[in-house]
Chain A
Amino acid sequence: MLRVLALASVVLLGIAPQASQAITVYTSWERHALVGSDIRLSCSFFSWRFVSEDVSFTWRYRPDGSRDSISIAHYAGGEAYTDNKGAFKDRVEFVGNPKRRDGSILIKNLDFSDNGTFTCDAKNPPDIVGRPSSVRLLVFETLPIQAGVITGAIIGVVLGLLVLIVVIYYLMRFLVARRVFSLNVSRNVEGPQLSILP
């Protein structure tokens, strides 16, 4: 029995590193931004291995309603390369720290044409098997109010005021009652003393 267990654990230890050699890429799910502002799209990854010298990040952009995606930023071999021909020319900058598994990019001066999906693909050789992660960018003219926030806020404020008024009312009643009680007590205490003094 013990021998079987020992054999099984050795086999598992042998298999496990190979099975877990998949890289997991993380980005936000969706980002909202105002026209004309800058936005930092973050990309990070998890890998069982240490960050290698050949770590690479690739950012692709796919406009809404289109099937093609175009590369806009690439980091490999210690160098960052950004779009110098397309719609993101001079607007995208690689601001991540690859040694800390951060492959973020900064996009400046957003416009409505930047609405779309940005995909980050990170590779940490020999850990290269993994799925890229996408973040959806929505560019607004004015940031919309979350639906229902104002309703909730008004209700909350009014109910809060109600609770406050009730609490203050009962507090005042309690304090007034206590003051009356302490006045009565002091009067009773002074009474006998006055009669003792000649």
Chain B
Amino acid sequence: MLILLLGIIFLHISALVLLFVSTTVSVSKTLWIQVVQALMILSIIFSFLSLLLFFCQLFTLPKGGRFIPTGIFQILASLFVMSGAIIYTLMSPDWVNVGNSFGYAYILAWVAFPLALISGLIYAVLRKRE
């Protein structure tokens, strides 16, 4: 049980760290870049809130209860990062030269998305024991 808990927390925090690293906050005037930035920042905020909720619920949830709000927030965070990555993929050919490939931040964002999704689903399915 403890191993499972630690594993989930590790998954969650690694998703959060990836999100942090992949969010470059540089002020720009183009519309879609600002939307992508907003979505990335929102996904970080929601992932962080979900972590807080997890610790709250760990102590207040009755036995056998599910971590539904935690899971919802984490799944929302994964959806935000997915939307941000999709918009960036679609709009970047106009912005970046065809020769340049995507940077590491882009790859990290795409890795963070399934991590956040899986951890969110686990939270939704997990039941509190002991």
Which residues on A are within 8 Å of B, measured CB to CB? 144-145, 147-155, 158-159
Contacts and interface: CB of A to CB of B under 8 A. Distances in A.
| B interface SS class | helix
A149 B33 CA distance: 12
Question: Which of the four size classes fits the interface of chain B?
Answer: 10 to 19
Contacts of A149: 34
Contacts of B37: 151
A158 B42 contact: yes
Interface string B18-46: 00000000011101001101110110010
A153 B38 CA distance: 9
A159 B35 CA distance: 15
Point out which of A145, A150, A155, A159 has the most chain B C-beta atoms below 10 A from its C-beta: A150
A179 B34 CA distance: 46
A148 B42 contact: no
A157 B27 CA distance: 19
B42 A154 contact: yes
A147 B38 contact: no
A149 B42 CA distance: 15
A150 B37 CA distance: 10
B45 A159 contact: yes
A152 B35 CA distance: 9
B42 A145 contact: no
B31 A145 contact: yes
Contacts of B39: 154
Contacts of B35: 150-151, 154
